[in-house]
Amino acid sequence: MHTLSDPPADVPATMPAATPQEPATPGAPRILVPVFTGDGREYFRIWVVNLLLSLATLGIYSAWAKVRRLQYFDRNTQLAGASFDFHGNPRAVLAGRVLSVILLGAYHYAFGFSSTFGIVVVTVLLLAFPWLMRGALRFRLGNTSYRGLRLGFDGSVGEAYLAWLPAAFTFLMPGVLLALYPGKPWLAALPLPLYLLWPLMHARIRRFQHANLLFGDQHSAYTVKARRFYRFYLVSGSLLLVTSLVAGMAAGFAGAMAAGDRSTAMFAGMAVGIVALYLIYLLAGPYMVVRVSNLAWSNTSFPGLRFRSTLPARGFMKLQTRNALLTLLTLGLYRPFAVVAVYRYRLAHLHIEVDGDIEAACAHVATRGGAAGDSVADGFGIDLSW
């Protein structure tokens, strides 16, 4: 299931599935831990076939590849002895991917035609984006089932605009101002103060995602204050600042040591860049993922059912570092093993506390949305796996 979200970094990918913990005393809540029964070697075969067929069909098969991937992970995710499943239509995903390509192409090349056309494209994108993101969540959850019953998402269109529109506007405006006034690059800095509100925007998006989940006929509750997101951004920002200062001093020192030797200076600069990228993407990034995931899921609940996420930041950083190094050393071939490792690690640190029997909480719900939004989220690099 991709709204849930593998063992500590030193646990092999083929570890046996853990068994749910039973209550120690009669009437006590039952603690369940979702487990992943697949393995990296099995998913590697699926990944290779998906990649080759997608290349052979110029990307057309990628829609079927995505459905096949989601089905593999869902069908190998078990909770209380039952597996999840995914029922998305590949043709709907393909139509969404075509729309995604059109929107991405229009966004990248709009101002190359004219300023007016560029403004129209950006306006359409801003107006369509929240609606598409809502459709993406409805599609992903409405096509996910557990014990044969569909999950769902019932966030309204208005809530989607309140959640996604401020973030989309803040993200797009610097580029739009640069395109409209290429001779005045300083204008692109005007929207930057809005980024001080980015933690609040992030918190609103998370609230939209977690406060509108459906499990059977039960609606989720979400109890996180938006201001709590600022702490994570302050820590991540401090990591980025320290990284920039260290990289700058190291680059200056390397340049001074290699004065007159161009090849040595280039090598030193590349080394500094690699270290900086490591600190940014394998320390600050994973830290943010862990802290936000733990906070959001540990404050999401249903009547008689509560989540608790205990992802360790240090362990997740080590896992991502190992995955990145092995992916580079194998020229990308370790990628499917890395995906499985991260998925299993996240599941292993997600506990579900249930009052009574989980089967009793299940009732039929069928809430489907648009595959177009799901594909647009893929195109813009937005992670819907939480």
pLDDT digits (tens, 9 = 90+) for 168-193: 999 999 988 988 888 888 888 888 89
Handedness of CA 59, 64, 67, 71 (dihedral sign): negative
pLDDT interval class at 215 (50, 70, 90): confident
- How far is residue 158's CA from residue 131's CA, in Å, rounded to a whole number? 9
Residue 57: inside a domain, yes or no?
A: no
pLDDT tens, position by position, 11-33: 344 344 444 454 545 567 889 99
Of 184 and 74, the structure prediction assigns the larger pLDDT to: 74
pLDDT interval class at 237 (50, 70, 90): confident
The total number of structural domains in the chain stands at: 1
Residue 336: inside a domain, yes or no?
A: no
Of 77 and 361, the structure prediction assigns the larger pLDDT to: 77
pLDDT interval class at 254 (50, 70, 90): low
pLDDT interval class at 272 (50, 70, 90): low
The whole domain housing 174 covers 87-216+368-386
C-alpha pair distances (Å), 1 with each of 24, 92, 151, 209, 230: 28, 20, 10, 15, 29
Per the rule left: phi > 0, alpha: psi between -120 and 50, beta: everything else, 34 is beta
Any idea how long the chain is? Answer: 386
If you compute the radius of gyration of the chain from its CA atoms, what whole number of angstroms results?
A: 23
Predicted model pTM: 0.80
Q: Tell me what pLDDT residue 340 has.
A: 97
Residue 122: inside a domain, yes or no?
A: yes
Residue 199: inside a domain, yes or no?
A: yes
Residue 62: inside a domain, yes or no?
A: no
Residue 95: inside a domain, yes or no?
A: yes
Residue 180: inside a domain, yes or no?
A: yes
Residue 67: inside a domain, yes or no?
A: no
How many CB atoms lie under 10 A from the CB of residue 286?
22
